[in-house]
């Protein structure tokens, strides 16, 4: 097997919370050396984002919580106070040997410390400096701070998410997880990988990357936003209804729910056969997909009544035989117990000092020649400070002095 794709790449990661750390984690999974810089004493803001927390050998909770653990494996943690000149000097020294500098401070914050792109590239002209922010480096909102839910609202995602108008509980709804953070993390990784390639073929030329949550969520709206741009009309909230083929949505069965997506006319005919109502496939109102879209409420109501006649497992088995896309509505316990998910190895175990077999979610990318197999537990706060600083010439006496001053 070859080395991991990013072996030899070194990243200085000053990002916090979720979007930036997720990107740095992905790059770390792929073989990059990621040096995570945290505040002495408190660390990444994510460490204080609530339970559940791991407990140490004495049974005490600590700052290794689920929010932090999900985005910080395969990294080294170094504590540095960048508000102090001595701390800034450490960051600049580390940046000299790094390929990538990642940060998600408010626009202009790092300039005060001499750690902005213009100043970092004077000591490392080939540096790829990636800024991850809420609103981007330009525009009237650039100075603002923000979190995932703000961008779900401002970017339009909440306006097309939730129960349909006229239904109980109708109105804008937030997507459960911090999905904009996750998508921004992926965009950040794409940008960094593209910049690495550009540097390779353009004589070592570095650049400044500007990735933000608001741009990301707007772009993610894809065909929904395109409907508006083409027609000038807002697509409605559709609840659990699908976005193309019809009928599509969550249907209640005798003992639970399933998700069905009928993607074409052939699938519709086969579904009607499974449901015991083959005549629906020849009804002029439902012949073609566009007809079923026009009469969506009617066909969805008919299907709703038919699905109540049997159990989830029965319908899933029969629809699978008929080649109709469908699936159970799983909770997390069912997801990680699913035989296919287990065969794909989506739950991995890592050895953490506070939990011998800590469960994490594996990197979702699979390589034939450079598989990601080794996962290191998310580091404890400052776990690697001594190791990393020693590599750039700081001896024990100097580090002890910096520690006493609160610099590291």
Q: Which two tokens stand for residue 143?
A: 């100075």
356: Cβ contacts below 8 Å, ≥ 6 apart: none
CATH H superfamily, domain 10-220+343-404 = Crotonobetainyl-coa:carnitine coa-transferase; domain 1 (3.40.50.10540)
Rg (CA), the chain: 25
End-to-end CA distance of the chain: 39
C-alpha angle 71/17/29, rounded to 5°? 25
- Fold adopted by 248-329: formyl-coa transferase, domain 3 (3.30.1540)
The catalytic residue positions are 181
177: Cβ contacts below 8 Å, ≥ 6 apart: none
Q: Residues 303, 251: contact at Cβ < 8 Å?
A: yes
**CA dist., res. 396 & res. 149, Å (int):** 44
Q: pLDDT in tens for each of the 408 residues of the chain?
A: 579 999 999 999 999 999 999 999 999 999 999 999 999 999 999 999 989 999 988 888 889 999 999 999 999 999 999 999 999 999 999 999 999 999 999 999 999 999 999 999 999 999 999 999 999 999 999 999 999 999 999 999 999 999 999 889 999 999 999 999 999 999 999 999 999 999 999 989 999 999 999 999 999 999 999 999 999 999 999 999 988 889 999 999 999 999 999 999 999 999 999 999 999 999 999 999 999 999 999 999 999 999 999 999 999 999 999 999 999 999 999 999 999 999 999 999 999 999 999 999 999 999 999 999 999 999 999 999 999 999 999 999 999 999 999 999
**CA dist., res. 106 & res. 183, Å (int):** 19
The pLDDT score that the predictor gives to residue 243 is: 82
List the alpha helices (DSSP H) in 345-384.
Answer: none
53-55 and 355-361: which strand pairing?
A: unpaired
- Domain positions in the chain are 10-220+343-404, 248-329
């Amino acid at each position: 097997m070859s080395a991991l794709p990013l072996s030899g790449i070194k990243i200085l990661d000053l990002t916090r919370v979720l979007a930036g750390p997720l990107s740095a984690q992905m790059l770390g999974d792929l073989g990059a050396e990621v040096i995570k810089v945290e505040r002495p004493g408190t660390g990444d803001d994510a460490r204080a984002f609530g339970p559940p927390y791991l407990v140490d050998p004495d049974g005490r909770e600590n700052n290794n919580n689920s929010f932090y653990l999900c985005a910080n494996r395969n990294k080294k943690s170094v504590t540095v106070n960048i508000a102090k000149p001595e701390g800034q000097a450490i960051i600049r020294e580390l940046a000299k040997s790094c390929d990538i500098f990642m940060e998600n401070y408010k626009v202009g914050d790092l300039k005060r410390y001499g750690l902005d792109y213009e100043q970092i590239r004077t000591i490392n002209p080939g540096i790829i400096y990636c800024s991850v922010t809420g609103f981007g480096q330009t525009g009237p909102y650039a100075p603002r701070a923000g979190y995932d839910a703000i961008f779900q609202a401002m970017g339009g995602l909440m306006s097309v998410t939730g129960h349909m108008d006229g239904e109980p509980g109708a109105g804008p709804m937030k997507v459960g997880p911090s999905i904009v953070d996750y998508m921004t993390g992926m965009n950040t990784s794409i940008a960094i990988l593209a910049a690495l390639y550009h540097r390779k073929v353009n004589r070592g030329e570095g650049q400044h990357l500007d990735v933000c949550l608001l741009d990301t969520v707007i772009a993610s709206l894809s065909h929904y936003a395109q409907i508006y741009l083409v027609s000038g009309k807002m697509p409605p909230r559709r609840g659990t209804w699908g976005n193309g083929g019809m009928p599509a949505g969550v249907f209640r069965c005798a003992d639970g729910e399933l998700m069905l997506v009928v993607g074409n006319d052939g699938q519709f005919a086969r579904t009607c056969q499974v449901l015991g109502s083959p005549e629906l496939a020849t009804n002029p109102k439902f012949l073609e997909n566009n007809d079923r879209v026009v009469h969506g409420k009617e066909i969805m109501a008919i299907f709703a009544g038919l699905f109540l006649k049997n159990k989830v497992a029965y319908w899933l088995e029969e629809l699978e035989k008929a080649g109709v896309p469908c699936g159970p509505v799983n909770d997390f316990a069912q997801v990680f117990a699913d035989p296919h998910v287990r065969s794909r190895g989506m739950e991995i175990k890592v050895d953490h000092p506070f939990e011998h077999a800590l469960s994490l979610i594996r990197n979702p990318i699979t390589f034939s020649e450079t598989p990601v197999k080794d996962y290191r537990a998310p580091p404890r706060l400052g776990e690697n400070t001594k190791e990393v600083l020693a590599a750039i010439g700081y001896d024990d006496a100097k580090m002890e002095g910096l520690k006493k001053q609160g610099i590291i």
